[in-house]
């Protein structure tokens, strides 16, 4: 049932992100929506989520369905490295989109200069560079292990750190901070600040149109924070539990681990819905992409 569940999530995520890539790829050159910073970040988010699903879900499904790792040492190392890197790219892009929205609303007068296509592309480049650098320890310490005493004839793709080393614990804490807690704080603060500005503008000049925008953004902001919080929280709980405690090898812990995987993968499936179809610029891009010339 695990491969079937992973396969369903994989299919939904691939189709959703592929649709976003098709829409943005079909935009007519010079069209206003295609040049927006929002669409640049949406494109990067979809590429990251698409890549994360490709590098993570199929291989993780084989880990739960096959007795050993069948893809060799090269894929053992680089699949996990790219999965970590694309996961971080996706998360950092969510932060960038929240900051971009914050600048557009709170600093509207200066946003035209700050939110340029050049700056958005530069931000995307920095996101990829930072993510690839942060994920390097995964490539260094992921290895193909053979001759385990409980399965001497099998090979496993496991993390291999020096015994008693604090480096692994420090790295796990770093990922928790830069890949979850800090992004969560930044996304929440940006959403809250924009929400407060909408409320103040409604108090100064109440109108049905402004009220509708305020409600829509408040709902979207709450959804953004809730999805990110719930999608990655179980994953980090298990990581910290296994690293600093004793994660019990039983059916309950196995089920909890599967749920954590599904929630993390689901985040890459939901992102196209939240950050694309709720975006006015992206809806314009859809109309532009599928309008007959």
Domains and CATH numbers, the chain: 2-289 (1.20.1070.10)
Kindly state the percentage of the chain with pLDDT values over 70. 82
220-228: average pLDDT: 78
Dihedral sign for Cα atoms in the order 190, 195, 200, 205: positive
Among candidate residues 43, 84, 15, 88, the one with its CA nearest the CA of residue 269: 15
Q: What is the DSSP string of 265-280?
A: HHHHHHHHIIIIIT-H
Query: Quick one: pLDDT band at residue 234, thresholds 50, 70, 90?
Result: very high
Q: How many CB atoms lie within 10 A of CB 86?
A: 25
Instruction: Find the range with the poorest average confidence among 2-11, 75-84, 125-134.
Output: 2-11
Cα 17 to Cα 50, 120, 124, 275, 286, distances in angstroms: 6, 20, 18, 11, 14
Q: What is the pLDDT of residues 134-191, one digit of tens each?
A: 999 999 999 888 866 665 667 888 888 876 678 889 999 999 999 999 999 999 898 8
58-78: average pLDDT: 88
Q: Give the highest mean pLDDT range of 3-12, 156-165, 175-184, 227-236.
A: 175-184
pLDDT score of 27:
64
Instruction: Find the range with the poorest average confidence among 76-80, 173-177, 197-201.
Output: 197-201
Query: Quick one: pLDDT band at residue 293, thresholds 50, 70, 90?
Result: low
Taking phi over 0 as left and psi of -120 to 50 as alpha, with beta for the rest, 162 belongs to beta
pTM: predicted TM-score of the whole model, two decimal places = 0.87
Q: How many CB atoms lie within 10 A of CB 293?
A: 3
User: From CA 6, how far away is CA 134, in angstroms rounded?
Assistant: 27
pLDDT score of 249:
77
pLDDT score of 211:
55
The answer to whether residues 132 and 51 touch, using CB atoms and an 8 Å cutoff, is no
The answer to whether residues 49 and 18 touch, using CB atoms and an 8 Å cutoff, is no
Give yes or no for residue 210 having a pLDDT over 60: no
Instruction: Find the range with the poorest average confidence among 89-98, 125-134, 275-284.
Output: 275-284
Q: What is the pLDDT of residues 42-55, one digit of tens each?
A: 889 999 999 999 99
User: From CA 109, how far away is CA 97, in angstroms rounded?
Assistant: 18
Give yes or no for residue 66 having a pLDDT over 90: no
């Amino acid at each position: 049932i695990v491969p079937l569940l992973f396969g369903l999530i994989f299919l939904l995520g691939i189709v959703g992100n592929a649709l976003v890539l098709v829409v943005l790829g079909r935009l007519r050159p010079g069209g206003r929506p295609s040049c927006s910073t929002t669409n640049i970040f949406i494109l990067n988010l979809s590429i990251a989520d698409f890549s994360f699903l490709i590098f993570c879900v199929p291989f993780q499904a084989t880990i739960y369905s096959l007795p050993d790792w069948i893809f060799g040492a090269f894929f053992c190392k680089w699949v996990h490295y790219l999965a970590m890197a694309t996961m971080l790219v996706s998360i950092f892009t969510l932060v960038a989109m929240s900051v971009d929205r914050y600048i557009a609303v709170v600093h509207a007068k200066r946003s035209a200069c700050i939110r340029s296509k050049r700056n958005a592309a530069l931000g995307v480049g920095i996101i990829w560079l930072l993510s690839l650098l942060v994920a390097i320890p995964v490539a260094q310490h992921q290895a193909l292990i053979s001759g385990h005493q409980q399965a001497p004839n099998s090979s496993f793709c496991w993390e291999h750190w020096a015994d008693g080393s604090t480096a692994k614990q420090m790295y796990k804490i770093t990922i928790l901070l830069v890949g979850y807690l800090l992004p969560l704080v930044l996304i929440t603060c940006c959403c809250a600040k924009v929400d407060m500005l909408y409320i103040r503008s409604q108090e100064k000049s109440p109108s049905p149109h402004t009220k509708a925008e305020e409600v829509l953004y408040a709902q979207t902001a709450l959804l953004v924070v809730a999805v990110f919080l719930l999608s990655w929280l179980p994953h980090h709980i298990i990581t910290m539990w296994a690293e600093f405690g004793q994660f019990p090898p039983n059916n309950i812990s196995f089920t909890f681990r599967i749920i954590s995987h599904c929630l993390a993968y689901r985040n890459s499936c939901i992102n196209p819905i939240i950050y694309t179809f709720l975006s006015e610029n992206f809806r314009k891009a859809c109309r532009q992409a599928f309008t007959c010339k």
